[in-house]
Structures are given as structure tokens and as C-alpha cells.
């Protein structure tokens, strides 16, 4: 029985492809894996291989013609076999193609709908206003949006009730990474003997570590202030109150604006009901001395990062996580590898467990756990995530999700005309770099006109002892979507550079569509994962197949060769495994 050869989906935003030329003719005999035509997408040009052996019985789309993703472009089978007809004018959807007389290829993943595209600016409301744009919140989404709007010629003001830089600079990304760096240096000193270096009399000073963190934060927040001045963005200090679409009240004064951008971020969530005083993820970053022991409620990103930091400095550390695994948003193998590493490092991990009762007294906490265990500690941290910060505009009639996030469309517009919302407040991603990109998209729609609002692959990084970075789907998610996948895992232990660095623990895992070679997800756990993930992001952004990414020459000896081998392993085969 024959099979259709369909237009492959070579990227997350690809909806159609133009056939540049056929490399075979009707009647040609081909083997599985042979390249049969060249296709041009909106980002790249690639040769497409055939998934079956047989004879090319019919070519439906000729050179220069454009076919939708998953539309049959040719039919392959045995000589004399009946050839089904394809109605090109109807541009059959994948489901229709599968229902053709002959059996089609394996069901393909449905291409995501193209996002709304407009080359026109947003319609400016009539009237005279104090500002073209008022941004509420000076975090990585708000301040980046403000600067970009000013570059586009807008008169911009930013309202901030605290210090510029938002959660990321003041209470999140930067402070934790400063602590992470100190912890890593301290562990490197302790492991120096592995490199033939003897160290004696070493010690650390927590107050100096704290001061270093504060200086870095101050330097960066001052930098944001300098960027405001350079770009003529006015900073208004105070808490914003918004009741009307074009008015912002701050300290009793009213400012009018043509457009408004909500970038209020998020605040630490709390789910533990207790009279005991638990520290939240903001407060933990400014403790003036380390405790002898700590229990961290929550095995998510912040909980695991802080657990590794405290453990590195000798604090007896326990993580209590409700779910059956830590980091439930990550690939199962990645989470399991980190859990094993944390346990070997001396961290007590209690998954599938809750704190049923917490009592505080005599300078310590007594905790009764759902597993029947009772434990004591000097400090407790509640790290159960963050919730959208929606205060200040409660009377504004914007649609919200059940979790309190502001609903937005693909251009970050809310349900109220000329008001946009970006970052943590819209609930799409709780990532600084995503907020920045959303802010740029929003203001370019307001003032500059945009070419495309296509979804981009968004990477995530976790700075635990073993760094974690990932982009795209996990293996489990891909299979749940019914996508036939080919996965490959290349270990750091097989990489020369990793061995020289003493960083042999970890791996790179690639998930690819086994039909087209599309890179669906990349997951890295190990040294410099946060830096290496950008290669995977770029490959997915440019719609490179796993084979194309893997056959790209990588310098030797480098950690990035682990990515090369993993890409090859998910396509034609790795070399060094």
C-alpha cells in the first residue's frame, strides 16, 4: 500500500512551504532517507528526505508551488498501484488528507495557528495627554518597554512604587545568582584537591557575600536609572492607582496618557496556614546570618536553587514538596538526575509530602509532616511560587483569568482599549526575558508597527548545583500530543571538555519529530547549561532540523559538542557514543 509524502512541519510557526525544486522525477525509485525535494519556509531552505522506500508515483505540487503543512505533495508506492487524487484547490487539512483512498503517513501534529499580524500602529485615542505612554512597573518588562517606546519617539513615564528593576533585579534573578556564584566558588575551593591544588585555612564570610549581592543589585538598578535619563523616560516614584483607561493617579496627582502598559509583576504566593512566621522568597535574600538548619516548603525553581545555596554553605537543608518529583515542569529524567545529585550532596528531599502542622517557639520550628515524621529546624522558607500582583487597578474593568492574571491577546492587549499587560501579570511566562520581549512587542504595536507576532521558543534556566536549561516540549508532553518522537541523550561524561573541567555529571537530551527531524525540545542538565541552551533556541527559531543542527561544525574541545552529539543522536546517529 502506498503512502502520501506530505509537506513537513519544519518549525513551530511554519504553516506552509514553497517547493524550490524536486530532486527526483515521477517514476524514480527512492530509499528511505533519500532527499527528494527542497523546501523554502519563511525562515530557511532545507532538503526534505523521504520516510518510505518505493517509487515516486505522483507529484502533486511542482517546483515553485506552495503547499500547506501536512498537505500531500507526492505519492509513493509500488508500480501499478492506484494513485489517489488530491484536491489542491481545497488545500485539505491534515485530517482530510489522512482520509484519502490510500493510507496516509502517520498523523502529524497540527500546526499552531498563526498569530495575529498587523503592520499598522494601534489606533491612538483622540485628545491631548500628558504622556503617550505610562508604564506601571519598572521591572524587566516595564523598563525595557519604556526604553523601546522612547526610542520610537514616544513621550514616556514609568510609575514605580519600589526600586527600579522589579523582582528580577532586586528580589529574584540577580540576587540569587550572586549567591549561586559565591556558593560555586566555595565548592570549587573545597574540591581543589581534584585538580592537584592544596588549599588550607579557607573560610567564607556571609556578611561579605550579602554585601557583594547588594552592590551588584545597586549597580544594576542605577544602570536602569541611567538608561531612563539617556532615553528621556520620566520616573514617577509612588504607587499607581488606575480607575480609568487613560488616567493614572500617583500620590494624589493625576497623569493622563494615550496608552497604558501594566507591568506590575508578581508577589510571593502563600498557601501554608500557620501562626508561625515563615520567610517568603523575597525576605530570604536579605537574612544577615545563616541558620544551622532550614526547611524549604516547595521543590520548584526557587526552592531548589535556595536549597543548593544553603547546602553549599553547610546549612542542614530539607525540601518538602507536595508533588511526586521536584521541578515538575521539567523533563522527568532531568528532575530525577537533579534529585539524585541533591541527595548525594546531603540535601534531604521529601517528595509527595506536606507540612501538616508548624509550631514556632524557643528559636526553632517543630514540623509534623504528612508522612508521620516530625522534624525541627531554625528557619523555614515558603517557596510555593508567585502570584500576579493586581493591586492598584482593581476598579479597572479588565478581564482576568480565574488565577487573577490579566487576559491579553497575541499583541499583549487587554480587554480595555489602549491598555496592554506584560510579564507575570498576564500569566503567560514568569520569566524576565519573556516579559522584556512582550514589552517590546506591545510598544512596537503602539508606536512603530510590527511585521510579525509569531510565537518564539522561550528558554528557561534553573541555577541549581547542576545547572538546568530547557526549551520546547518534554518527551512526555510530545507523546501526550501524539507526536512520534525520536529522543537522544548524550552524557557530559563522554565530553572531553567536561572531563577537564571536572564537570562530568549531566547530559543533553534532544526530542525530535521522527518524521521530519523538527527539534521539539532540548533539555540540558550540567555545567554551563544556561549558556548552551541559546544554541538550541536559535536552531528552533531558524527551523533547523536535528540533523542540520548536529552537522554544523562545533569547536573542539567545548561543552557545546554535547549538543552537537545529541542532535546527531536524534537524527542520523551520534559519533562518540
Q: Which residues are catalytic?
A: 556
Task: Give the separation between CA 503 and CA 380, rounded to whole angstroms.
Answer: 31
C-alpha cell at 215: 552592590
DSSP alpha helices (H): ranges in 60-172? 94-98, 142-151, 166-171
Is there a contact between 108 and 6 (Cβ–Cβ < 8 Å)? yes
| Nearest alpha carbon to residue 485 among 522, 454, 530, 536 | 522
Phi, psi of 288 (to 5 degrees): -85, -10
Spell out the residues 6+ positions from residue 305 whose beta carbon is closer than 8 angstroms to its own: 176, 180, 462, 463, 464
User: Phi/psi zone of residue 531: left (φ > 0), alpha (ψ -120 to 50 degrees), beta?
Assistant: alpha
Is there a contact between 539 and 512 (Cβ–Cβ < 8 Å)? no
**Which residues on neighbouring strands pair with residue 488, listed in sequence order?**
510
**Which residues on neighbouring strands pair with residue 30, listed in sequence order?**
54
For cell 577537564, what's the residue? 500
Spell out the residues 6+ positions from residue 203 whose beta carbon is closer than 8 angstroms to its own: none
Q: Are strands 316-321 and 293-297 parallel, antiparallel or unpaired?
A: parallel
- H or E element in which residue 189 lies: helix 173-190
The strand ranges marked E within 100-246 are 131-136, 156-160, 234-237, 240-244
Is there a contact between 513 and 109 (Cβ–Cβ < 8 Å)? yes
| Nearest alpha carbon to residue 129 among 234, 256, 254 | 256
| Nearest alpha carbon to residue 537 among 559, 514, 519 | 519
Task: Give the separation between CA 406 and CA 250, rounded to whole angstroms.
Answer: 21
Torsion of CA 150, 152, 155, 157, to 10 degrees: -40
Task: Give the separation between CA 436 and CA 456, rounded to whole angstroms.
Answer: 13
DSSP letters along 365-432, please? Answer: EEEEETTS-EEEESEEEE---EEE--TT-TTS---B-TTSPBP--TT-B-SSTTEEE-GGGGTS---H
Is there a contact between 227 and 147 (Cβ–Cβ < 8 Å)? yes
Spell out the residues 6+ positions from residue 219 whose beta carbon is closer than 8 angstroms to its own: none
DSSP letters along 448-475, please? Answer: I--S--------EEE-SSS-EEEEE--H
C-alpha cell at 58: 505522483
Amino acid at each position: 500500500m502506498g503512502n502520501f509524502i506530505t509537506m513537513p512541519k519544519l518549525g513551530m510557526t511554519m504553516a506552509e512551504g514553497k517547493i524550490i525544486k524536486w530532486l527526483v522525477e515521477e517514476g524514480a525509485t527512492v530509499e528511505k532517507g533519500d532527499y527528494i525535494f527542497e523546501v523554502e519556509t519563511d525562515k530557511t531552505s532545507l532538503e526534505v528526505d523521504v520516510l518510505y522506500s518505493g517509487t515516486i508515483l505522483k507529484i502533486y505540487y511542482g517546483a515553485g508551488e506552495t503547499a500547506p503543512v501536512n498537505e500531500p505533495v507526492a505519492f509513493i508506492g509500488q508500480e501499478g498501484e492506484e494513485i489517489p487524487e488530491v484536491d489542491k484547490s481545497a488545500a485539505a487539512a491534515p485530517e482530510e488528507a489522512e482520509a484519502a483512498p490510500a493510507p496516509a503517513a502517520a498523523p502529524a501534529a497540527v500546526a499552531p495557528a498563526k498569530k495575529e499580524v498587523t503592520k499598522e500602529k494601534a489606533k491612538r485615542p483622540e485628545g491631548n495627554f500628558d504622556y503617550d505612554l505610562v508604564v506601571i512597573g519598572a521591572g524587566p518588562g516595564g523598563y525595557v518597554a519604556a526604553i523601546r517606546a522612547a526610542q520610537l519617539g514616544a513621550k514616556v513615564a514609568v510609575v514605580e512604587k519600589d526600586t527600579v528593576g522589579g523582582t528580577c533585579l532586586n528580589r529574584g534573578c540577580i540576587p540569587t545568582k550572586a549567591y549561586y556564584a559565591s556558593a560555586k566558588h566555595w565548592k570549587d575551593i573545597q574540591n581543589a584537591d581534584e585538580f592537584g591544588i592544596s588549599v588550607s585555612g579557607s573560610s567564607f564570610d556571609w556578611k561579605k557575600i550579602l554585601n557583594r549581592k547588594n552592590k551588584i543589585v545597586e549597580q544594576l538598578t542605577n544602570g536602569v536609572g541611567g538608561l531612563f535619563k539617556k532615553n528621556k523616560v520620566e520616573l514617577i516614584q509612588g504607587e499607581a492607582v488606575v480607575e480609568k483607561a487613560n488616567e493614572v493617579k500617583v500620590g494624589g496627582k493625576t497623569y493622563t496618557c494615550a496608552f497604558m502598559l501594566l507591568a506590575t509583576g508578581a508577589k510571593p504566593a502563600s498557601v501554608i496556614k500557620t501562626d508561625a512566621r515563615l520567610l517568603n522568597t523575597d525576605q530570604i535574600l536579605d537574612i544577615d546570618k545563616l541558620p544551622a538548619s532550614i526547611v524549604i516548603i516547595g521543590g520548584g525553581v526557587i526552592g531548589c536553587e535556595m536549597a543548593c545555596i544553603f547546602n553549599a554553605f553547610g546549612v542542614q537543608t530539607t525540601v518538602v514538596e507536595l508533588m511526586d518529583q521536584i521541578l515538575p515542569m521539567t523533563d522527568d529524567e532531568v528532575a530525577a538526575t537533579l534529585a539524585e545529585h541533591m541527595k548525594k550532596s546531603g540535601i534531604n528531599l521529601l517528595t509527595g509530602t506536606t507540612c501538616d502542622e508548624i509550631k514556632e517557639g524557643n528559636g526553632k520550628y517543630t514540623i509534623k509532616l504528612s508522612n508521620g515524621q516530625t522534624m525541627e529546624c531554625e528557619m523555614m522558607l515558603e517557596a510555593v511560587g508567585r502570584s500576579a500582583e493586581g493591586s492598584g487597578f482593581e476598579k479597572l474593568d479588565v478581564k482576568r483569568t480565574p488565577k487573577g492574571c490579566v487576559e491579553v491577546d497575541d499583541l499583549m492587549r487587554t480587554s480595555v482599549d489602549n491598555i496592554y499587560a506584560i510579564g507575570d501579570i498576564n500569566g503567560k511566562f514568569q520569566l524576565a526575558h519573556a516579559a522584556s520581549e512582550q514589552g517590546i512587542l506591545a510598544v512596537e504595536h503602539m508606536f512603530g508597527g510590527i511585521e510579525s507576532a509569531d510565537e518564539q521558543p522561550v528558554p528557561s534556566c534553573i541555577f541549581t548545583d547542576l545547572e538546568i536549561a530547557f526549551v520546547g516540549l518534554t518527551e512526555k508532553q510530545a507523546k501526550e500530543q501524539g507526536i512520534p518522537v525520536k529522543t537522544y541523550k548524550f552524557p557530559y561524561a563522554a565530553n572531553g571538555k567536561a572531563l577537564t573541567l571536572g564537570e562530568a555529571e549531566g547530559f543533553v537530551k534532544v526530542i525530535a519529530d521522527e518524521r521530519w527531524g523538527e527539534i521539539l525540545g532540548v533539555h540540558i542538565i550540567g555545567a554551563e547549561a544556561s549558556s548552551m541552551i541559546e544554541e538550541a533556541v536559535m536552531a528552533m527559531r531558524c527551523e533547523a532540523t536535528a540533523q542540520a543542527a548536529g552537522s554544523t561544525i562545533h569547536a573542539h574541545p567545548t561543552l557545546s559538542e554535547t549538543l552537537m552529539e545529541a542532535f546527531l543522536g536524534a537524527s542520523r546517529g551520534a559519533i562518540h557514543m
